[in-house]
Amino acid sequence: MPSDRTRFGAYGAAACAVAYGSMKLAQALGANALADKDPLRPDLRERLLARDPMFVASHWILATAAVIGVLTALATVRPWNVPRRPLIVLTWTIGLFMIVRAIGVLGFGFVGDTLVLTGVTPPDPEYADLSRHLARWDLALWSPFFLTWGTCWTLAARHTTRTRRAPGRTPQPEAHQP
């Protein structure tokens, strides 16, 4: 069984998936649950808050993806018979994507929000107040959350990459060759 330290990433990724999935499930069932804080373009934000069927469907899809995420994260530390290579690729991909999102390479995140708030990247004047409001929320909530979640995924991926599994056995650390 992996040590407590190596379990942290997997259980942290699973806990973040539960939190995110719970929020998306609540939104799918009609709750507002931070929907008004999503950093979306104004037209998409209006559709989200009006419960456009596309957004309701996306909430159901994201809630389902969160359940799959919990199982995937747990598969990195549990003695389940899961194909190892796809698990490694998936966990690294998810972790790195979330870290990139948090940093802001995709437009949102620490960099993108800071650029909006400092005026380096001025928002559309018609929606300037809303853009700054959403950038503050993203800096305070979403970017740190995705950074934490992505870090947990990469810790789980690192653990999975460094262990090997024998059929029917729990992961064992790789032996280092001199």
Distance CA 16, CA 30 (A): 21
In a domain, 31, yes or no: yes
In a domain, 135, yes or no: yes
pLDDT at 117: 92
**Residue 149, CA distances (Å) to 19, 121, 142, 145 in order:** 10, 27, 10, 6
In a domain, 162, yes or no: no
In a domain, 82, yes or no: yes
In a domain, 18, yes or no: yes
For the segment 149-175, the average pLDDT, to the nearest whole number, is: 73
Task: Quote the pTM value.
Answer: 0.84
The pLDDT tens digits for 52-88 are: 999 999 999 999 999 999 999 999 999 889 999 999 9
Domain span at 147? 4-157
In a domain, 164, yes or no: no
Instruction: Enumerate residues 6+ apart whose C-beta is below 8 A from 68.
Output: none
Residue 48: band (very low, low, confident or very high) from pLDDT cuts 50, 70, 90: confident
In a domain, 126, yes or no: yes
pLDDT at 42: 81
Instruction: Report the chain's C-alpha Rg in angstroms.
Output: 19
In a domain, 138, yes or no: yes
State how many domains the chain has: 1
- Residue 175 pLDDT > 60: no
pLDDT at 25: 94
The pLDDT tens digits for 2-20 are: 556 668 999 999 999 999 9
- Residue 176 pLDDT > 60: no
